[in-house]
Structure 1
């Protein structure tokens, strides 16, 4: 048993002794923790591969370079190069039955942006004509062509669209998520989520581990003398691998796990905090899971990184799913 698990077990037994409800004599929960429905905004559900998905998206059309936001070009290229095999390995498909691969990912994202814009217009929203200004920032619409009369999108320039996204809010430095221990970054990201009770943080990806250049932090090739692959073959590395699995729904969707049957997933079309790839992959994995009854996935039009930006719609969806679940045999 891992040290953290032992502590949890002791706390659970202590909770039973204190009279806490739902704890058995041996410290196990007696209460069901089934989740009927999930409402998720900008899901960051695959942290172990979030960096490579991010760099692929923002280097595929040279977005980083064109926007002048490329402080670590070597790292961006190295990470983006791993995306193709990662995406292939997921084995996901689009609604038409075609595999969702690196080759058609950008086109699939484009389709989702078009759908987002057309849903917005069908609900009375106004998108400026090509060449007119956006009402929120007075910049020129130079990437989307719409027909206000029909409410349809006739064209999207994906290169200009991605530039618009990153000019609204600057990109994260590569790597975007596993940053600590690398002096090329701003030392932010998600590295504090990983490690052991004795560590402040740990790198959790091969790139960040092997390129850690902060002496004395106790992790990385520089301090341990072990590459990432060597490290994860040892017990501390096994802990990291298990942590990555436990925080990643993609490891469980489509397996024998009891997946929640209802999912409402939104990711803003201006949300650059994680790659659109991540939420898109999540939606396709859920749609392929026989235990999932409904997946309401959409890119939220002209919305940045946030949550609860469509509360009436989301709560209406929840109410509908509760009725459906109540009526189900």
Structure 2
């Protein structure tokens, strides 16, 4: 697995350098300078990290060497953002206020549904419809029920930052490999986002353009909505492509719209980040 992670980090660095002649990687001993923030109403923060783990040739866009021990040690210096369990904490040991991703799963009639074995088995909130305590079933038994079976989305776009301390690289790589082996999956666009921490909106215009392309290829008559999303994302990528609530609902649960429901250019609706589209409906699935 370490070899695979190394290959993906090298591919990420190479893709970054090739994307734009202005994209360069600091020489060994020089600093990565990272500026974060910049959203409306907020300031920016600039942090420097010494590059002691990757050697590249910026003229040829090639990675010469990568020291995995030093690279992983570098990743551990990044800010820790998540508690334990990191992404599936709602309902666990009475926790009903966690802002984790548990609420992205389950039927529309429920506020949330635990999706990892640990959290499922340690859910102790009576009456929430999730966990061994309410269902009497193990996670495997629950998902094998005829009423809970689902098809795999055929198209997936997955991103994981190369300095993400909170989402395991193994998790995203396993997702990529599992989707690639799924007969129902037609396209997996997976990449480790170069020099990105745990976040979202790694490249909003790219993600929205990918959605538009996939929907257009599928022959969906509503691709005009996604074209508007893509254009809007290019104009306001820092604000993560604001959508109307109706478009957001359509992307997330397949709700159909009339042309009168399409968002106007000036309309400022809900912000939908790529991370919020993890389990999209028949057309696409996103992960980051």
Q: If the TM-score is normalised by the length of the shorter chain, which range does it land in?
A: 0.5 to 0.7
Asked if residue 117 in structure 1 is aligned to residue 13 in structure 2, the reply is yes
Deviations 1:21-74 (A, max 9, x none): xxxxxxxxxxxxxxxxxxxxxxxxxxxxxxxxxxxxxxxxxxxxxxxxxxxxxx
Rounded Cα–Cα distance in structure 2 between residues aligned with 1:149 and 1:283: 30
Contact kept in structure 2, 1:181 and 1:203, CA below 8 Å: no
Rounded Cα–Cα distance in structure 2 between residues aligned with 1:314 and 1:191: 20
Q: Which residue of structure 2 aligns with residue 164 of structure 1? A: 74
Deviations 1:253-294 (A, max 9, x none): xxxx53222111111112222211111111111111222211
Which of 193, 198, 202 matches 1:300? 193
Higher helix proportion (structure 1 or 2): 1
Q: Which residue of structure 1 aligns with residue 4 of structure 2? A: 108
Contact kept in structure 1, 2:32 and 2:50, CA below 8 Å: yes
SS of the counterpart of 2:177? Answer: helix
Rounded Cα–Cα distance in structure 1 between residues aligned with 2:182 and 2:171: 17
- How many pairs are equivalent? 192
Higher relative contact order (CA 8 A, sep 6+): 1
Q: CA RMSD in A?
A: 4.1
Q: Which residue of structure 2 aligns with residue 322 of structure 1? A: 215
Distance 1:160 1:174, change over 3 A: farther
| Structure 1 residue ranges (4+ consecutive) displaced by more than 3 angstroms after TM superposition | 171-182, 187-194, 200-210, 234-237, 242-246
Unaligned runs of 5+ in 1: 1-104, 195-199, 220-230
- Map 1:180-199; keep pairs closer than 5 Å: 181=93
Rounded Cα–Cα distance in structure 2 between residues aligned with 1:126 and 1:203: 40
Asked if residue 131 in structure 1 is aligned to residue 29 in structure 2, the reply is yes
Asked if residue 150 in structure 1 is aligned to residue 150 in structure 2, the reply is no
Which of 265, 275, 289 matches 2:168? 275
Q: Which residue of structure 2 aligns with residue 313 of structure 1? A: 206
Rounded Cα–Cα distance in structure 2 between residues aligned with 1:175 and 1:167: 20
Distance 1:171 1:295, change over 3 A: same
Higher strand proportion (structure 1 or 2): 2
Shift, 1:190, TM fit: 5.0
TM-score using structure 1 length: 0.48
TM-score using structure 2 length: 0.54
Asked if residue 261 in structure 1 is aligned to residue 154 in structure 2, the reply is yes
